[in-house]
Amino acid sequence: MKIAIDGPAASGKSTLGAALAEKLGYLYFDTGVMYRAVTLAVLENNIDITDPQAVLRVVQTVHIEVTPPDHVNDGRQYTVWLDGIDVTWRVRQTDIDAQVSIPSTYAEVRAELVRQQRRIGERGNVVMVGRDIGTTVFPDADLKIYLDATVEERARRRTQEMLARGQVADSMQVLNNMRERDRLDSSRVASPLRPAQDALIIDNTQSSVEEVLNALLTLIAHIQSSGANC
């Protein structure tokens, strides 16, 4: 099976996707880290993030790799490498949150990264997480999920996540950044954030990961036994 999980920032996609992949024995692939790594490379090299061609050149020259966490025990679900350097937590910081939606609006940048994402996903038995998996990357996925929560709850989760890692986090700044990111993600021309027409929409504002996970495992078992798609 190919399982697509989409949704806005801090909706719980990564946590759910990783847990689901572990239960199924599937590959877990959070495509958003590719855009985050590109954003980090752009910012650290003082490149104009508003210049689409300059950002595209970065995408075409840097090497991004995502691997299992292996022996690192700091709560990560995978390790993100940018030109051989571990940037797993760096790409989750506030300055990346505030800028990552800009390069993601560039059609050529998205097209290049989508090609890489499809190459990985075509192996099958994958839980792929992002913002356009069910609509663009794998519209033929066997199961499409759109995970959502209120922006206030998502900002609260992101703030707690940052504080737990010992980072400085201003809750109001996080909330404002998230609202702006939602606006950019939903209004971009190239693959805007929206549920696929046949996606299962889940609001987990008040639901635990375990509740959603158990419901999905039951659904997946039904799909596998019947050979149906959702």
Question: What's the CA angle centered on 164, arms 160 and 166, to 5 degrees?
Answer: 120
Query: Does pLDDT of 228 surpass 80?
Result: no
Provide the strand spans (E) within 96-138: 126-130
pLDDT, tens digit, 9 for 90 and up, residues 80-111: 999 999 999 999 998 998 899 899 889 999 99
pLDDT, tens digit, 9 for 90 and up, residues 183-203: 988 998 888 999 999 999 999
Q: All domains of the chain, ordered by start, with CATH?
A: 2-213 (3.40.50.300)
State the pTM of this model. Answer: 0.80
pLDDT, tens digit, 9 for 90 and up, residues 109-143: 999 999 888 988 888 889 999 999 999 999 999 99
Query: Does pLDDT of 230 surpass 60?
Result: no
Cα separation, 192 vs 105, in Å, equals 8
